[in-house]
Amino acid sequence: MAKVTEVKDVKEEKESTERLPLEGIRVLELGTLLAGPFTGRMLGDFGAEIIKIEAPDKADPMRQWGQQKDGEGLWWPIQSRNKKSVTLNLRTEEGQNIFKELVKEADIIIENFRPGTMEKWNLSYDELIEINPRIIMTRTSGYGQTGPYHKRAGFGSVGEAMGGIRHITGFPDRAPSRIGISLGDTLAALFATIGTLTALNERHFSGKGQMVDTAIYESVFSVMESIVPDYLLAGYIRERMGNILPGVAPSNIYMTKEGTYIVIGANADGVFKRLCEVMGRPELFIDPRYHTHHARSDNMTELDQLIEEWTKTQETNELLEMLAEKGVPSGRIYSAKDIVEDPHYAARDMIIKTEHPVLGEFPMPGVVPKLSRTPGKVKHVGAETIGKDNEGVYGKLLNFDEVKLKELKKKQII
């Protein structure tokens, strides 16, 4: 068994003398599960104060998603890291009024409810900017805040389907497949984060907030490369192609001597030449069937067969070393086990550990991207108890005393 690489412990991390980039920015995070909370996670990684608001009678289902250990969900501590946890019943007028008081003290609101929900609660953007003209409201939904579909429920899976990625995912002789993660939600969160930071920067000049409208299907569609001009200008509809990329070769998975699959991407002319040299087949590069990008595309199947005939004669580790020495992009297809044992992940602080109150030492992905002077950091896991920070947030931010807090709790407002 390979030696498990030591992962970085947050407690041992040298404290940065620099401010985190988003310190001083306060975010109210509404919504549940993925797209909205993932946006909050990314802002929190870089120092924003994230106040996650859950209904007192209905916690975020993410608390129980994923694998479990000792009754604790293993996804929640990652998704809600660096966040404060408060409860508030937004279905009541008193809860709505308390939220409006929080809005006065905030910079950003993140929500991912179905369009119309905030309006139903008397918390529309138009109402909130009257309270705080500088507020930025980031709204993520399946189809956006406008358009004929905007009121439809829209999960990430539906956004992936409508955005086009499900149509081209899988093998041509099988039904469309899904990718093994919630890609639609994650892409929406990435675009929502970009939009939020863009609006935040613009506010420096105008002094005004604005609404950021992110749709899951549009976020997926935005990464779909040239499928629209391919269709409208060339009459071509990209279909499922399995492990290959249409028109790009060689770029596939190839079996090694032990039956392990590796990825080789050698589609650029210079890289393909180096691959041929590693294979001991330099003549393949000058063969008119493979000499140009278009020629390799036209003869993709035959070329992939030639390459795999060779990789099947090679031990995996030695093969990858040879390819790396020649500058041919290649790598194993990693499982979680491979990831935690890889020294490069460790060197880049991509698996960190922090303390969980129930589970003890808790490993999770590091912060992305890396900033040279003011890198982000994970200060703590997500609150294991719903409303853990009620007293701290409501007491300090809104000056609610103990009597007020007890009254709100009794009335199930918090």
Q: For residue range 374-411, list pLDDT tens digits in order.
A: 999 999 998 889 999 999 999 999 999 999 999 999 99
* Residue 150 scores a pLDDT above 70: yes
Mean pLDDT of 191-199: 98
Can you spell out the DSSP letters for 174-187? Answer: S-----SS-HHHHH
Q: Are residues 58 and 206 in the same domain?
A: yes
Residue 244 CA to residue 345 CA, distance in Å, equals 26
Would you state the pLDDT for residue 64? 87
282: domain CATH number? Answer: 3.30.1540.10
Q: Are residues 216 and 184 in the same domain?
A: yes
Mean of pLDDT over the chain: 94
Residue in 409, 398, 402 with CA at minimum distance from that of residue 99: 398
Using a pLDDT cut of 70, give the percent of the chain over it: 96
* Residue 11 scores a pLDDT above 50: no
Mean pLDDT of 61-83: 92
Q: Is residue 339 part of a domain?
A: no
User: What's the domain range around 298?
Assistant: 251-334
Q: Are residues 166 and 96 in the same domain?
A: yes
34: domain CATH number? Answer: 3.40.50.10540
Q: Is residue 234 part of a domain?
A: no
Q: Are residues 397 and 359 in the same domain?
A: yes
Poorest-pLDDT segment among 56-65, 228-237, 289-298, 338-347: 56-65
Q: Is residue 357 part of a domain?
A: yes
Peptide bond into 369 cis (omega under 30): yes
Q: Are residues 371 and 309 in the same domain?
A: no
Q: Is residue 19 part of a domain?
A: yes
Q: Is residue 355 part of a domain?
A: yes
Residues designated as active site: 185
Q: Is residue 77 part of a domain?
A: yes
| Length in residues, the chain | 414
Residue 226 CA to residue 224 CA, distance in Å, equals 6
Contact yes or no for 185/214 (Cβ under 8 A): no
Residue in 247, 232, 237 with CA at minimum distance from that of residue 167: 237
Task: Record the pTM.
Answer: 0.91
Q: Is residue 3 part of a domain?
A: no
Q: Could you tell me the end-to-end alpha-carbon distance of the chain, in angstroms, rounded to an integer?
A: 50
Mean pLDDT of 257-265: 96
Would you state the pLDDT for residue 17? 56
Q: Are residues 215 and 68 in the same domain?
A: yes
* Residue 180 scores a pLDDT above 60: yes
Q: Are residues 216 and 267 in the same domain?
A: no
* Residue 16 scores a pLDDT above 70: no
Q: Are residues 202 and 77 in the same domain?
A: yes
Q: Are residues 193 and 259 in the same domain?
A: no
* Residue 106 scores a pLDDT above 60: yes
Using a pLDDT cut of 90, give the percent of the chain over it: 91
Tokens, residue 378: 């994970």
Q: Are residues 18 and 79 in the same domain?
A: yes
Overall number of domains in the chain: 2
* Residue 31 scores a pLDDT above 50: yes
Q: Is residue 384 part of a domain?
A: yes
Q: Are residues 107 and 154 in the same domain?
A: yes
Mean pLDDT of 227-232: 96
Poorest-pLDDT segment among 125-129, 243-247, 273-277, 318-322: 243-247
Contact yes or no for 42/188 (Cβ under 8 A): no
Q: Are residues 150 and 260 in the same domain?
A: no
* Residue 238 scores a pLDDT above 80: yes
